[in-house]
Chain A
Amino acid sequence: MKQDEVPQDEGNLSKKNVRELLYATDKDGNYTTALSTGWEPKSIALSNSLEVINERIEEAKNDFKAGKSSPIPYFMELAKMDLPILASYVGMWQWRVKRHFKPSVFAKLNDKILSRYAEAFDITTSELKHFKAD
């Protein structure tokens, strides 16, 4: 890539006034560095990923409202986690975490277990316990 072709699209980084460094060639073909504010294909890729996450959050919320699941999947999606990541944050086996997705099992969890989830989600135990989807 030539130095003057380094993209300067509006990107997600430029919102925080961050530019990224790229290696590019000058007019003699020698390598140098250049700063870029962003590149559209990357920005769309990122927004696509965020969209997918938002859909998953919405779905988890609806499942909770419909009584199909506990609040844990909702907070898990909100924290951009998946099952293996959440399991490692709370230090439990994946199958155990998955069991806690059931409203009936969740209702019987003690505060000690709940606090582990709360800590992973960066909320209070009571926020988790008394979560009402709006």
Chain B
Amino acid sequence: MLKQTTIDNVITAALSTGGDFAEIFVEDKISSRLEMQTSQIERAITGRDYGVGIRIFSGLRNVYTYTTDAEEGNLIEVAKRAAAALKGDDTHVQPLTREEAQIVNEITRMPSDVAYDEKVRILKEADHIARAYSDKITQVRVNYIEDEQRVMIANSEGKFVEDLRVHTRFSIMPTAKEGNQIQTGHYGPGASAGFEFLENLNIKHYATEASRIAVTMLKAEECPSGKFPVIIDNEFGGVIFHEACGHGLEATAVAKGNSVFANRIGEKVASDLVTYIDDGTLANEWGSLNMDDEGEATRRNVLIENGILKGYLVDKFNARRMNTALTGSSRRQSYRYNPTSRMTNTFIANGTSTPASIIQDTEYGIYAKYMGGGSVNPATGDYNFAVMEGYIVENGEIKQPIKGATLIGNGAETLYKVDRVGNNLAHGAGMCGSVSGSIPVNVGQPMIRVSEMTVGGTKEEV
């Protein structure tokens, strides 16, 4: 993507003032998006992101610069200007050695090779199925996204790698209406794969489920407020641990001690039932990568094992503060972001309870079938997340649907309160926003039960 001599010259310029590490990240990404509403394709856009990010370390100083002008002269100029933020002498640069990336995500059909007709046909099918579900469905939005991101990463330690990341995602949001009530449902599966992902996707399942959620929520009652046992189903339900625990295990928060999990390796931080893993090598999963954004091969990182804290997610810069090994977790949305430790596919490992037994064992509580998103303050561990489709559980049975439920709590405390872990692990796709931008991640878990959580609803305490 850049000539080797250009890379050499830029890295040399970057280290001209005493930096001890320099890296160049080149990105060329072609994206296409289609949006269908009112059963017609209403939006279609194709574009190209193109730019170069350069970072320089000097001890615990981190200088980052990026530009969309990849002419060698400009890159050297930009690198020199960034280097001017540091003071010191020329640093020795290692000769570049080309490395081959491991292949985690095999791509069968490049999305850009597939004609629009084929994509539109699938969107129409989804729209048709979602509308046919009920006459209460008044609007359906279907989106299709494809990205082909080519990256090249080279650094002063001699690393020189290239990679191709392909993402395809389908999402559907039906709107149901009855009287003055409007409710929406949503489902958005995605993969680090080519068009074969969409071809093989069970469109009927996702479109029907999304409509079913919207229609179900029309008849939902107000959610009670108070502290209850909460059962969270598998797949996207894993967003709770992503927020409650995952972000607090990123070096971004841990390195400076701004995490409740800092300096606690080997300590018990969760219920014995909890084993929490981040694995960027699951073939073609939405959060999987052949290599991270500093060129490290992704791997399987066990973060919590049977309740004991085992490790963190660590990137190259934070490793300097933490004095630990890299975990292949350094990520960025694009060349515009200085990369840092982030999650890939993070999930609670399977336990032994069956989902049916977890429901049966619950006298009174909330069952969160599908979760919306959430957020966390990593410094305090306080999290919140929204329940998209929830129910009351009474005497071991799932009863009426409820709406407007938000679950809040503290990650460190919630981890101890997991008292059931099911055996139906599944993953769900999401976009995670943090300091290095918005990136594709999977969250996952089997059905779990938390013995007590604060549920914020509109109905007074029961």
Chain B associates with chain A = no
Residues of A that sit less than 8 Å from B by CB = none
B residues with a Cβ closer than 8 A to A are none
